[in-house]
Every structure is written in C-alpha cells, then in structure tokens.
Structure 1
Amino acid sequence: MGKLPLGLLQQFVLIARQGNFSRAAREANLTVSALSHQMKQLEERLQRRLFERGPRGVTLTVEGCSLLDAVGEHFDGIEHALSTYRTRHHDALTLSASPGIMSSWLVPRLPRLVAVHPELVLNLQSGSTLVDFAREPVDVALRYGDGAWPDLHCERLFGEWIAPVAASALIARMAGTDPNELSRWPLLGEPSPSTRWADWFERTGGTRPARYVAQFDSLDALRHAALEGLGVALGRMVTSKSLIDAGRLQVLGNNYLPVPDAYWLVYPPRSREHRGLQRFRAWLLAEAEDYRRQMSAFRPDDMAVD
C-alpha cells in the first residue's frame, strides 16, 4: 500500500468531526467534489469503508471510528504545537490571569493599551488554576505568589496589602460599634487554607471570633457577599481599591497588613521575542509603576509601599 499522504488523513479527520462534506470542504478551502474524491482514494488505499453517506451528512463506520481514534489525537497534537509558533511573530497575544486581577485591575486599564497599540489582538483567558505553558498556547500570564516558578521569566509588578472592608449598609447597621474591634463585627470566612484572619488578629491584636457569619469557597463569592452587606471581608487592595474609590466598600479602621506575595508578569522563554508581548510588557510595567504611585497617595502613613 505504501505510505499514506498525511493530507488524506487530515481531511478524513476534518470530515469525521464535521459530520458533513459541505462544511468540511468550506473549512478545507476545497470543493465538495474534490474532498469526496480524496476520501474515495483513502478508502481504496485502505480497502476499508470509512463513511456511511446519508441525506443529512455522513456517519463513520466501525472501521472509520477506529481510524479516527488512532489518528485524531495526533493531528490535535500537531495543531497544538503549531499554534504556539503561529502567534510568536505577530501581534496576537494570549494572556492568562486570575478572575480578580483580570476584572478589577487589568480590564479597566486596557482602553489605554488599545489607544497606544491598536494593532494588538488580545485573547484573555480568566481562570484560577496556573496555566501550563508547556502544554497550552498561552504567551504570558499575570500571577499572584512568591515569584518562584521554575523555567519562567518572572517580573515583579507590585506588592499587596489587605484590610477589612465592608459595605456602607453594614456599617450603618453596626453604627456605634468600634471599627477597630472586629471581633464584634460579622466576619466572612475565606477559602481554605487561607490563614489571613488569623494573621490579622495576631498582627493587629484583638480576639478572633469563634466562628464566621459565612464561609466561602471562592474569593469572588466572598467579595460579592461583602458588597451585599453580609459581613466584613479581608480585601486585597489590588482588587478592592476600585470598589473603595466608587464608595461601594469602606475600609474599617486604620490598619493595613502587607502580605508576602505579590503580582508578577510571567512568561516562558519561547515568548521573549514575541512582538506583541514586548509591547504589552512595556505598557504593563509603566501601568504597574503608576499604580504603585497611586497606592502611595492612597495609603495611610504607616502603610509601606514597595
């Protein structure tokens, strides 16, 4: 039989997944007649019937299903590997970030990026798990942590501070209660295994309450509960400052606690020459510097800014 042309197998996978010769032909930029002829060649070379043709499309025979199982994932792997190289040398940029910094910090600033670099095509991916640069076609990420991610370029953007925040409605209900005596306020528990409330009471004094008014498994849900006036949350300033500026949350008391982790720009070695990343990086570092200046003006006198 000799070696099969890879093109025939590639078109087979396309038809099998589309379930329709017309749609597959449009995607392959071929005529239906040409694609049908190629599949006839493939069936003759293999001496197997691969498709059952019907009025509404095609279905795979048992042997067609076996062939798809055998070759489909290999073409997926090739497509995945090539996708990285397609984006390296033009202006498309795929960025991953956690939902908090994506919605609260990055997205409000993106109009300024678009104004200075309208040629950039941004693909933003929001998720709580760390992207695997070796397996996913992602060019760059914003991460929160200690910066110790091996085999990656890590550039520190800015530090983080936490403070107790509450909605105006809750503050009104608790009128007369000392904002520095948090054990008397309804507190919102954080996703496990966070120990930030324990650290807070250890650093600032006071008695930690025996229980929380509610416990949450995500920071997004926790933030919404605080906005609705359910209780007091320990808010990260990076994701809470815009809500404070808008008057939707208020800081209780005068204590701000610096935390050891920070926000980082992270990217693999393969992205260093990516033209879009170079422009995004320069813009982002300038935005980070501006944010640090804003926080210096926002902070109380005893709040260290790095």
Structure 2
Amino acid sequence: MSRPPLQALLGFIAAARTGNLTRAAESMHLTVSALSHQIRGIEERLDRRLFVRGARGVKLTEHGQALYDRVAPHLDAIEQALQPRMRRRDDALAITLMPSFASSWLVPRLPGFLAAHPQLEISLQSNVGVVDFARDMEIDAGIRFGPGKWPGLEAVHLFDDWMTPTASPALIERLGQPTLSNLRDFPLLGAPGGRWSEWFARFGGSPPDRFVAIFDDSENLHRAAAEGMGIVLGRMTLARPLIEAGRLVELFDERLKTEFAHFLVYPSRSRDHRGLALFRDWLQEEAARYEASDAMTGKRSRAPRKPARTGSGRRTRAVR
C-alpha cells in the first residue's frame, strides 16, 4: 500500500477542527471540491466513513475521531518543529481568559493598568476551552478558574470566590423575601455540578424537587437571574457587577466558598517576559484588594433588610 498523501491528512485535520469544509478549504487554499476529493480518498483507503455531513457543517464519526486522535498530535509536532523560534516581544502581551471573567472582573480594572504602562500592547483572547501553550506559541499566559494544578504550567493564586443566593429586585417584589427554611419554595436556577445541595446542607432547608431552568454557562445563568427568571446561587465574581448595578440582590448574609479559585497560569517560556511580570504584579495587587473587600468575605456585614412589599403594601409569598 502506498503512503498516504500528507496534504490529504492536513485537509482532514483542518476539516475536523473547523467543522466546515468551506473554511477548511480556504485555510488550505483549495476548492471545496478538491478538499472533499482528498477526504474521500482517505475514506476509501480506510474503508471507513470519517465525517457525517449536515446542513451546518461536518462532524467526525467514531472512526474519524479515532484517526484524528492518532494523527493530529504528530502533524502538530511537525508544524511546531518547523516554526522559527522567535522571541516574543516584551511590550506585547497575549492573555487567554474566560469571557465571563473578562467582562465582570478584568476589563473594568484594565484601564488603570494600561494607563500605568502605556508602552504595553495587550491582547485579550476569550476562550472557554483548554489552551495548549506548547502549540499556541502566541499566547503568553491565561487566567483560569480551577483547582490550581495544571501539568507543566506555573500557577499564581489570585483569589478564592464565594457563592450566595441572589435574585432580581423584581422577583423579590413579586414573590416576597425568602428565608433559609422556605427558599426551596421559590423558583431556583440550577447548573451542571451546581452546589445547591451543599448550600442547603450547610445553612438549612432542603433542595427543591426540580429547578425552573438549568444553564451550562455561568454568565447566562446570572443574566437569567437578573431578568427575574429565578434565584441563582450566584458566584460573587460574576454577580457583583449586577448587584452594584441594582439588577441582583443578595438574599442572605451567609456565603459558601467555591471549590475552585482564580489563577494566573503560564508556561516556563513566559517566565522572563517583562510585560507579563508587570501584569502579574498588578494583577496580584488588584486581586488582594478585591479579596479583602466585602465581596470576598465569608459573611457580609450590612444593615437589616426591609421586607419586599407589593404595591398594596402586603408581602407576598411564593407558591410551592
């Protein structure tokens, strides 16, 4: 059997990563017809179907995924080995981070950093996936919410986070102020791996039989609560801007510490990056200031809240 053409494998990898034959063909400077012919040649060679084609693009079959898992790392290694080892500019800094953290925490503070260091050019790349620093050589560091241990990376702890039930003022006005004992009777919003059960076990009451809605995205989860859909076990880093804007209200003094924390992570190649050193020092100062604030304490201090009331002056109750 003849050796498989490298160009066809490159086309296969491009199609697998983009999920779109048109974009993959453009990246390879081919026509869609030519790329399809190359992929069809691999399929005929293996006597296996590699893609399922649909209206929105292509998706790997089980056999396609197996081929991708075996071939992609080797092609990436070849590409990396042939790339010139150029030193990164010390006045240019590329950071990857979660979109929710960027909008709720970093971006509002970033103007102060840039004003203090006008010589720096910073690039923020929002990404919810895992970043391969060995492959993505243009990225200098990342900010992630996790356990703090990433193989091969240095991790600098920034701050922990806390959770507490929050809701929109409109929802409280409509249904009344919940207590720890009757919280389960109110519309609650859930998330995969959420910690409502732990909240109830620690502070009293019992979990609901069902959630009004479940979200797999933290930012949309908090936005849904701000729109009055239900009560969220809000993570303070995300909830705080909405609270300060008057769109969410903390319902209780009690707070639950999150399982993970926020970290700055970077590969060894970025250790001597001057721009990153400046950013790291500033980030740690901002994180320490934030962690010492009321937003990041285990129990907040505030004046007793007056019960929410309806227009008639009577407090309403949630219906189970």
TM-score (ref. length: structure 2): 0.67
SS in 1 for 2:289: helix
Amino acid at match of 1:77: E
For residues 27 and 210 of structure 2, the distance between their equivalents in structure 1, rounded to whole angstroms, comes to 55
Residue 115 of structure 1 aligns to a residue whose secondary structure is: helix
**C-alpha deviation, 1:283, in angstroms:** 1.0
1:206-247 CA distance string (max 9 Å, x none) = 011100111112112211111100000111111111211221
| Identity score, percent | 42
Contact kept? 1:271, 1:277, Cα under 8 Å: yes
Q: How far has the Cα of 1:130 moved from its partner?
A: 2.0
Whole-angstrom CA distance in 1 between matches of 2:177 and 2:183:
13
> How far apart are residue 90 of structure 1 and its match?
2.2
User: Can you list the C-alpha shifts for 1:4-45, whole angstroms capped at 9, x where unaligned?
Assistant: xxxxxxxxxxxx97999xxxxxxxxxxxxxxxxxxxxxxxxx
Specify whether residues 77 and 232 from structure 1 end up closer, same or farther in structure 2 by C-alpha distance, changes over 3 A only: same
1:83-142 per-residue CA deviation (whole Å, 9 max, x = no partner) reads: x7342x421111011112111000000100111011111111112112111111311111
User: Which one-letter code corresponds to 1:98 in the other structure?
Assistant: M
| Residues 178 and 251 in structure 2, CA contact (< 8 A), matched pair in contact too | no
Distance 1:241 1:144, change over 3 A: same
Residue 282 (structure 2) pairs with residue 283 (structure 1) = yes
1:151 aligns with 2:167: no
- What residue in structure 1 maps to residue 310 of structure 2? none
> What is the correspondence of 1:13-162 to structure 2 with a 5 Å cutoff?
77=79, 81-82=83-84, 85-87=86-88, 89-136=89-136, 137-162=138-163
Match of 2:237 in 1: 238
Alignment of 1:289-300 (within 5 A): 289-295=288-294, 300=299
Mapped partners of 1:104, 1:18: distance in 2 = 34
Structure 1 residue 259: Cα displacement: 2.0
* Residue of structure 1 in register with 2:48 after alignment: none
Q: CA deviation at 1:195?
A: 3.6
Structure 1 unaligned residues grouped into runs of 5+: 1-15, 21-57, 67-72
Distance 2:147 2:28 in 1: 48
In structure 2, the gaps of 5 or more residues are 1-24, 39-74, 302-320
Q: Tell me the CA shift for residue 78 of structure 1.
A: 5.5
Measured in 1, the distance between the counterparts of 2:287 and 2:255 equals 20
Tell me: CA distance 1:222–1:141, structure 2 relative to 1, closer, same or farther (3 Å): same
SS in 2 for 1:85: coil
| Conservation of the 8 A alpha-carbon contact between 1:102 and 1:126 | yes
- What are the Cα deviations for residues 124-171 of structure 1, in whole angstroms up to 9, with x where unaligned? 111211211111131111111110112111110111110011011101
Question: What is aligned with 2:185?
Answer: 184
Residues in 1 aligned to 2:129 and 2:292: alpha-carbon distance in whole angstroms: 30
Secondary structure in 1 matching 2:292: helix
The one-letter code sitting in structure 1 at the alignment partner of 2:212 is: V
In the superposition, the TM-score normalised over structure 1's length comes to 0.69
In 1, the alpha carbon distance for the partners of 2:246 and 2:163 equals 17
Q: What is the RMSD of the two structures over their aligned residues, measured on CA atoms? A: 3.3
- Inter-CA distance 273–206: structure 2 relative to 1 (3 Å threshold): same
Is 1:180–1:252's contact at 8 Å kept on the other side of the alignment? no
Give the aligned partner of residue 247 of structure 1. Answer: 246
How far apart in 2 are the matches of 1:297 and 1:19?
A: 49
Query: Does the Cα contact within 8 Å between 2:147 and 2:260 map onto a contact in 1?
Result: yes
The answer on whether the counterparts of 2:164 and 2:233 sit within 8 Å (CA) in structure 1 is: yes
Greater mean alpha carbon deviation, residues 196-205 or residues 107-116: 196-205
Q: Work out the CA distance in 1 between the residues paired with 2:154 and 2:27.
A: 40
Equivalent residue letter for 1:129: G
- What residue number does 1:274 align with? 273
Moved more, 223-232 or 171-180: 171-180
- Select between 198-207 and 153-162 the one with higher mean Cα deviation: 198-207
More helix by share: 1
After superposition, where does 1:216-227 map in structure 2 within 5 Å?
216-227=215-226
**Residue identity opposite 2:79 in structure 1:** G
> How many residues align structurally?
240
